[in-house]
């Protein structure tokens, strides 16, 4: 029986194995830039709606730190420091800002309670005097869920972009093979995706429960816990909404055979059963369940499952909806904590396409992408990678995107020499390079300011000059050398 090691080990324990799926050709090269270093156990990054100047970093031991994006500096005073149990897979695991944070000042956390390790979801409020410091005495407990073991806590929380409700990812309670069959038990909140209304209170006489049940939750008015939105999850460590479509992506950590990405469309009415422990990914689970059987028609298969040779501890990511790299719009990024791999894919609701291993291109020179526990978004929709080794990376273009290129021009000076010039719209890529092809030869050309220039001899006749990187940005130019 395997006890999960995803967060017990803060360094990768296994070398990656060859990816079995072919990578799609991408028009836009990517890399990463490190925006924070020297943290201890960073697990998640996010930002309040509309706040483009700050990034908030949740740390396993209970701190929330602020990265000033305008200065590239971590503020010296933590936003808040919450007492948590941080043994094994426990700690401060989730952070979400109220959709109306600018008016309410409310943010929400998912953490392990000191002493017993039980899950707490609570609300805090920012200080009236300093927007960079929260009021530590403002805590309001929404609920507590008993945890039988110290692993499989889930941990992600997030607000639905369409309904404004808070979604809470809960693991199956731990150990291995879900011994108490909790993920399929609709009278148990473990192994589920929960959905609650943080703006109401259906328990006014109970100080320990401060939330309301959305009336459209799938188990309202029938057997099962009203808080449940979806079931059949093992350890949904990291999840996310596509901010444009409202689609929900769930990275669910497997047992012994599969790591999976589950999907729920933005117009779902809830109630999906993702199969654990009857199924692990697309195969049958090792242990029987009292509530379902492998192959049941009502079980929702993952959009992607990876064998153990490729992934051992999946970290769900985000769909890119930023503005800096338009060619990436709709691309979902995710990673594996133990094999140190990063991938991307597109999903149109029917099939996966452009499944691509991004590990090499995102491993910038001097950076060692290890222990990739999480992804995150800033307020602009740019995507970040969060490592428990204390480093935060932003995914950026490795060179100019198509939208950055103003013109490709080429001519012949009459003496068998081609002159080619790539003109850019700004100086953001000064010092980087592009690839120009003259005939059958390729040349890597440095960008200086807003231009990249190439002078090269050619044979007589018509010669085609192409911009190869990014691909298909501009049509080729034919020049004639007499």
Q: What is the CATH number of the domain that holds 54?
A: 2.120.10.30
For residues 30-50, average pLDDT: 95
Cβ(96)–Cβ(46) under 8 Å?
yes
366 and 423 assigned to the same domain? no
Whether 192 is covered by a domain: the verdict is yes
**Residue range of the domain that includes 477:** 402-481
* The total number of structural domains that make up the chain: 2
167 and 292 assigned to the same domain? yes
- Specify the pLDDT at position 102: 98
Q: What are phi and psi of 123, to 5 degrees?
A: -110, 140
pLDDT tier at 24, thresholds 50, 70, 90: very low
228 and 289 assigned to the same domain? yes
Please say which residue of 397, 425, 451 terminates a domain.
397
Please say which residue of 347, 377, 397 terminates a domain.
397
How far from 321 is each of 157, 246, 275, 427, CA to CA, in Å?
19, 12, 30, 23
- Specify the pLDDT at position 415: 73
What is the C-alpha separation between 86 and 105, in angstroms, rounded? 26
Please say which residue of 372, 397, 422 terminates a domain.
397
379 and 469 assigned to the same domain? no
Whether 336 is covered by a domain: the verdict is yes
- Specify the pLDDT at position 471: 63
How many residues can be counted in the chain?
Answer: 482
pTM for the complete prediction?
Answer: 0.87
**Residue 326: pLDDT above 90?**
no
Query: DSSP letters of 67-119?
Result: EETTTTEE-SS-SEE-----STT-SEEEEEE-TTHHHH-EEEEEEEPTTT--E
Whether 6 is covered by a domain: the verdict is no
58 and 171 assigned to the same domain? yes
For residue 240, say if its preceding peptide bond is cis, omega within 30 degrees of 0.
Answer: no
What is the C-alpha separation between 224 and 385, in angstroms, rounded? 37
Whether 183 is covered by a domain: the verdict is yes
- Specify the pLDDT at position 21: 45
Residue 472: give its domain's CATH number.
2.60.40.10
Whether 19 is covered by a domain: the verdict is no
Question: Could you tell me which of 184, 316, 206 has the C-alpha nearest to residue 252?
Answer: 316
Which stretch of 188-197, 339-348, 407-416 has the lowest confidence by average pLDDT?
407-416
What is the C-alpha separation between 294 and 435, in angstroms, rounded? 51
Token pair, residue 129, equals 């005097």
How far from 101 is each of 50, 104, 123, 124, CA to CA, in Å?
9, 5, 12, 11
Whether 14 is covered by a domain: the verdict is no
Buried b (16+ CB within 10 A) or exposed e, 14-26: bebeebeeeeeeb
């Amino acid at each position: 029986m395997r006890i999960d090691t995803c967060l017990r080990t803060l360094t990768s324990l296994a070398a990656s194995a060859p990816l079995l799926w072919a990578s799609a050709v991408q028009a836009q090269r990517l890399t990463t830039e490190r925006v924070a270093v020297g943290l201890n156990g960073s697990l998640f990054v996010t930002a309040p709606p509309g706040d483009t100047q700050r990034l908030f970093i949740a740390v396993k031991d209970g701190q929330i730190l602020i990265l000033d994006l305008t200065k590239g500096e971590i503020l010296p005073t933590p936003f808040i420091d919450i007492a948590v149990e941080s043994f094994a897979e426990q700690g401060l695991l989730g952070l979400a800002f109220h959709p109306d944070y600018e008016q309410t000042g409310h943010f929400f956390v998912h953490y392990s309670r000191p002493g017993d390790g039980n899950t707490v979801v609570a609300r805090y409020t920012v200080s009236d005097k300093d927007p960079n410091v929260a009021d530590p005495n403002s805590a309001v407990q929404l609920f507590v869920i008993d945890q039988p073991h110290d692993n499989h806590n889930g941990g992600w929380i997030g607000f639905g972009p369409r309904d404004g409700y808070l979604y809470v990812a809960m693991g199956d309670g731990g150990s291995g093979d879900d011994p108490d069959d909790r993920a399929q038990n609709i009278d148990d909140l473990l192994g589920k995706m929960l959905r609650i209304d943080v703006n109401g209170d259906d328990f006014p006489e109970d100080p320990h429960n401060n939330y309301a049940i959305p009336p459209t939750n799938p188990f309202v008015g029938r057997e099962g816990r009203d808080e449940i939105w979806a079931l059949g999850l093992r350890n949904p460590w990291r999840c996310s909404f596509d901010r444009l479509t409202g689609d929900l992506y769930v990275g669910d950590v497997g047992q012994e055979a599969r790591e999976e990405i589950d999907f729920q469309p933005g117009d779902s009415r809830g109630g999906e059963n993702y199969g654990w422990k009857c199924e692990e990914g697309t195969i049958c689970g090792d242990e029987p369940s009292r509530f379902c059987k492998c192959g049941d028609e009502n079980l929702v298969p993952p959009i992607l499952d990876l064998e153990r040779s490729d992934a051992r501890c999946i970290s769900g990511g985000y769909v890119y909806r930023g503005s800096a790299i338009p060619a990436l719009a709709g691309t979902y990024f995710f990673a594996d904590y133990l094999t140190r791999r990063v991938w991307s894919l597109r999903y149109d609701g029917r099939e996966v396409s452009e499944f691509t291993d991004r590990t090499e291109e995102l491993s910038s020179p001097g950076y060692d992408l290890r222990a990739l526990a999480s992804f995150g978004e800033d307020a602009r929709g740019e995507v970040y990678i969060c490592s428990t080794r204390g480093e935060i990376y932003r995914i950026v273009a490795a060179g100019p995107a198509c939208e950055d290129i103003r013109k490709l021009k080429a001519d012949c000076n009459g003496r068998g020499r081609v002159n080619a010039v790539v003109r850019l719209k700004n100086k953001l890529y000064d010092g980087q390079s592009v690839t120009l092809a003259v005939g059958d030869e390729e040349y890597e050309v440095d960008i200086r300011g807003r231009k990249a220039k190439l002078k090269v001899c050619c044979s007589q006749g018509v010669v085609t000059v192409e911009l190869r990187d990014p691909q298909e940005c501009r049509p080729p130019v034919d020049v004639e050398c007499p």
